[in-house]
Structure 1
Amino acid sequence: MKIAVVFDSAGTLLRMYRVAKNIKTGEYLHELVSTEFVGKKPYCAILVMQVDSNKLVNCPPNMLISDFIRKYNIDIEVGCSRALIDKATAEAVVGNDTTSTMKDLQDVMAAVKSKCKDIFYMGVGLIIDVETNSIPYVICTGGKVYSNTPLVIRTLTEKNVGIYIASGDSMRNLSALAMNVCLPLQCVFEIATPKKKEEIVKSLKQQYDKVIMVGDGINDVLAMRAADLGVLSIQQTGKCPTGLCEEADMVIRDIKEIIGIIEKYF
């Protein structure tokens, strides 16, 4: 039997630490679940900035984020949103913002570095509100590989299981993860929205007898439904959110449990 496993990255293969900053009040929000946060309003979205975070540190603090993106031709992608928000709309909102500055991004980066040691990678993004045509929050995420992640990838590879990563993150960060766990880049899908993850699973079902989706958030639900087996990981939070757990066929507390699931059921 040919089996494939599709993993989300943040929270599933990696332990994450996220910090958001309210542009208006200056308040910091620590350890937030970004997908749930954005999901509270229909026309909010997380935008992934395709940029090396080190480049942001040397920018003038008072420079507008919109000017930075325009000057350096920084690509931005819609990583997650409740309603369908296309890239053109997102770019227009960012271009019209006159409040958020590079200091805001530098601040959240510093906050993550101070709280999360041994960071494997760091990514930055924007939370936009289409209704107010603004950037109400900036966000930074730092992550490090769970101790059992390399073991899981290695063991599944030895069992000839097809392994894929479908993540809302950018290839800039995902390529580092793939290299760390020895996974070919052609098996990694970047900027994967909930709908794209679903499409990836459906496509793989044409190639494999069984496809398993492993994720940790609401943005993985469509893919879980499409998979032959939907697995929810609560390793990051230790909690099983009502509604989300009901969507999953199985719940795990450690990524290494995937090995036993495949051995038992497949």
Structure 2
Amino acid sequence: MSLAVVFDSAGTLLYTLRVAKDIPKDRIVEGVETTTLTCSEKGRSLILLYVNSKEFIEAKPEMLLSEYLTQKEVSFGVACSSIVTTTEEISELLYGDKKATCEDLQTCIRKVWSCCKKMPVVALNNGVIVNKNINSIEFAITSGGRPFPNAKDTIRLLHENNIASYVASGDRTDKLIKMADYLGIPHGNVFGVATPAMKAQIVSGLKEQYDKVIMVGDGINDLTAMKKADIAILTEEQYDKKPKVLEDAADYIIKDVSEVFEIAKKYNS
């Protein structure tokens, strides 16, 4: 029997530190789960910004973030959304915003980097949450992740037993590639900037190639893909408080990524 395992990245393969700046309330929120935050209110969309952190940190703090994004022709990807929206609508909110400054995102970058700079492998991502209800950027967000201690061995054991591994994540592809190189996942098996619908499509496509497909996720943006998979695994390695809808969709709930191999072995015959 052929078998494939699809992993989300943040909170699943990576321990991830997230810092958000609540712009209307002018306060920092640490340890936030961005997909849950996005889906907790209708009108919000989580946007990945393709900015270079080292370059961005040198921008004038008082400059509007929208102005910087426009001047540098920074593109974006929609990681998840609580509403049905279009690229054009997101563009209007993002590039037309008059509230968020570069300093808002720079503050998040500095906080995450101060905690992650000593890690051997770090995937740093920047983004915002736009809110259609207020027609502006509501949160600036930076996340930094490092592989969980048993992640590399888990991927190795899967491959040694002819079980394919894939990554389908809302994170940027170039950041995921660095993680994949460390873990030993082929570049062609990495899908970045994947929305919940895209993750489900990836799982569906793999089901045509493999006898069984396992989806491993940790957030509400993995729910559709978990339902589409033959076996759904919910991981609580980083956060142990999950929405009931995720628990109900899971065939297995784990506390350590190493448990994925033990589960996969049951179906690898």
- The answer on whether the counterparts of 1:166 and 1:192 sit within 8 Å (CA) in structure 2 is yes
Residue 137 of structure 1: aligned partner? 139
Question: Is the contact made by 1:214 and 1:230 (CA closer than 8 Å) also made in structure 2?
Answer: yes
Q: Residue in 2 aligned with 1:61?
A: 61
Query: Residue 99 of structure 2 aligns with which residue?
Result: 99
Q: Is the 8 A contact 1:169 1:191 kept in 2?
A: yes
Which one is further off, 194-203 or 21-30?
A: 21-30
Give % identity: 37
Say if 2:257 is the partner of 1:260.
no
What letter matches 1:175 in structure 2?
Answer: I
Figure out how many residues of one structure are paired with residues of the other and give that number: 266
1:172 alignment counterpart: 174
SS of match in other structure, 1:223:
helix
Q: Is the CA contact 1:22–1:136 (under 8 Å) kept in the aligned structure 2?
A: yes
Q: Determine the structure 2 residue equivalent to 1:88.
A: 88
Across the aligned residues of Structure 1 and Structure 2, the Cα RMSD in angstroms comes to 1.2
Counterpart contact for 1:8–1:220, Cα < 8 Å: yes
User: Do structure 1's residue 109 and structure 2's residue 109 form an aligned pair?
Assistant: yes
Number of the residue aligned with 2:155: 153
Amino acid aligned to 1:216: D
Moved over 6 A (4+): none
The secondary structure found in structure 1 opposite 2:244 is coil
Instruction: Tell me, yes or no, if the aligned pair for 1:78 and 1:85 is still in contact at 8 Å.
Output: no
Deviation for aligned residue 1:127: 0.6
Normalised by the length of structure 1, the TM-score is 0.97
Question: Residues 178 and 118 of structure 1: is their aligned pair in 2 closer, same or farther, counting only changes over 3 Å?
Answer: same
Query: 2:123, 2:176 within 8 Å by CA — same for their partners in 1?
Result: no
Structure-2 separation of matches of 1:46 and 1:99: 17
Give the counterpart letter for 1:138 in structure 2. A
After superposition, the C-alpha distances for 1:138-171 in whole angstroms (9 at most, x for unaligned) are 0110111111111011111111111110000011
Displacement of 1:240: 4.2
Separation in 2, partners of 1:124, 1:40: 20
Once residues 38 and 106 of structure 2 are traced to their aligned partners in structure 1, the CA distance between those partners, rounded to angstroms, is 21
Give the superposition deviation at 1:115. Answer: 3.7
Q: Supply the distance in 2 between the matched residues of 1:105 and 1:98 (Cα, whole angstroms).
A: 14
What are the equivalent positions in structure 2 for 1:194-209 lying under 5 Å apart?
194-209=196-211
Any gaps of 5 or more consecutive residues in structure 1? none
Give me the whole-angstrom Cα distance separating, in 2, the residues matched to 1:52 and 1:156. Answer: 33
Amino acid at match of 1:99: K
With the length of structure 2 as denominator, give the TM-score of the two structures: 0.96
Task: Please say if residues 196 and 222 of structure 2, whose CA atoms lie closer than 8 Å, have aligned partners that are also in contact.
Answer: yes
Q: Distance in 1 between matches of 2:80 and 2:243?
A: 19
Q: Which residue of 1 aligns with 2:11?
A: 11
Cα deviation for residue 118 of structure 1 reads 3.1
Counterparts of 1:190 and 1:40, CA distance in 2: 23
Deviates most, 237-246 or 202-211? 237-246
In the alignment, what sits opposite 2:38?
A: 38
Check conservation: 2:236, 2:254, Cα contact below 8 A. yes
Q: Aligned letter for 1:26?
A: D
Partner of 2:251: 249
Contact 1:118/1:144 (<8 A) preserved: no
Q: How far apart are residue 113 of structure 1 and its match?
A: 2.4
C-alpha distance in structure 2 between counterparts of 1:21 and 1:232, whole Å: 28
| Letter of the 1:152 counterpart | T
Equivalence for 2:22: 22
What SS is found at the alignment partner of 2:112?
A: helix
Structure 2 letter corresponding to 1:221: L
Deviations 1:162-192 (A, max 9, x none): 1110000011211111111122211000111
